[in-house]
Amino acid sequence: MSGTALGLSSFGSKPIEEVIAADDKTFFQIYWLGSKDDMVARLDWAREAGAKGIIVTLDWVFATARDWGSPPLPEKIDVKTAVRFAPQVVTKPGWLLRFAWSGKLPDLTTPNLVPRGQQGPTFFGAYGEWMGTPPVTWDDLAWLRQQWDGPFLIKGIGRPDDAKRAVDIGATAISVSNHGGNNLDTTPAAICMLPSVVQAVGGQVEILPTVVCAAAATS
């Protein structure tokens, strides 16, 4: 992995093919979400679409309570949503024009989580399934690594021992990250975790920061 690579979130609102058509270096980001069969199928679609690699995100931890709630995220665009977001939309006339040009309302579902041609779940539909999936283990990650023969980035490493485990299962890169602290802001900052991780595995694996696009929402 060299240079800049775009990471398309599996919660993104654009099909991976469209994003790859815009940037053929796109990586596909996944969460441990659903059954193993679901995950294999998503990797197959990403491979067929030409994804250059996979990003497995671990830095969003489900706790009994978040420090901060989510900002308002509409499930669909209806009149109520349009009125609510109008003040923000007027500051982005370019987006509005592109929406108008496409001739249809933006689709806020998640097309990369389901087979082509099926309607993907809404963001919170997907989120609910994710929360209901048993947390990923290192054995699961080793299994997942075997399903993808190519660049495999583990995002959300924060400790030297986990960095070593990532190397052991064959990760090609790791990202030291705590998801910007936006779930638990008491977790150590990525910049503080970085030196011990570099000391543990520097030279054995690429170590980098990542920012994954949540939703390419323009139509």
11 in contact with ligand FMN (CB under 6 A)? yes
* Distance, C-alpha 102 to centroid of its chain: 26
x-marked contacts with ligand FMN along 16-55 as a string, rule CB under 6 A: -------------x--------------------------
The catalytic residue among 163, 179, 190, 200 is 179
Q: What share of the chain is helix, strand, coil (3-state, %, to 5)?
A: 40, 15, 45
- Structural element, H or E, at residue 208: strand 206-208
Q: Minimum Å distance from CB 115 to ligand FMN?
A: 21
Contact present, 55 and 27 (Cβ < 8 Å) = yes
Q: Minimum Å distance from CB 214 to ligand FMN?
A: 3
Interacting residue with ligand FMN among 126, 144, 179, 197 (CB under 6 A) = 179
Contact present, 52 and 25 (Cβ < 8 Å) = yes
Interacting residue with ligand FMN among 14, 42, 145, 155 (CB under 6 A) = 155
99 in contact with ligand FMN (CB under 6 A)? no
210 in contact with ligand FMN (CB under 6 A)? yes
Residue 179: active-site member: yes
Largest CA distance in the chain: 54
Cα–Cα distance for residue pair 83/34, rounded to 1 Å: 34
Q: Minimum Å distance from CB 1 to ligand FMN?
A: 15
Cα–Cα distance for residue pair 181/157, rounded to 1 Å: 13
- How is the beta sheet containing 206-208 ordered, strand by strand? 7-8, 27-30, 53-57, 152-157, 173-176, 206-208
Using the contact rule CB under 6 A, the part of the chain among 33-41, 164-172, 175-183, 198-206 near ligand FMN is 175-183
Q: Minimum Å distance from CB 29 to ligand FMN?
A: 5
Phi, psi of 95 (to 5 degrees): -60, -45
Which of 32, 99 has the CB closer to ligand FMN? Answer: 32
Judged by the rule CB under 6 A, the positions of this chain that interact with ligand FMN are 9, 11, 29, 57, 155, 177, 179-180, 190, 209-212, 214
Active-site residue list? 179
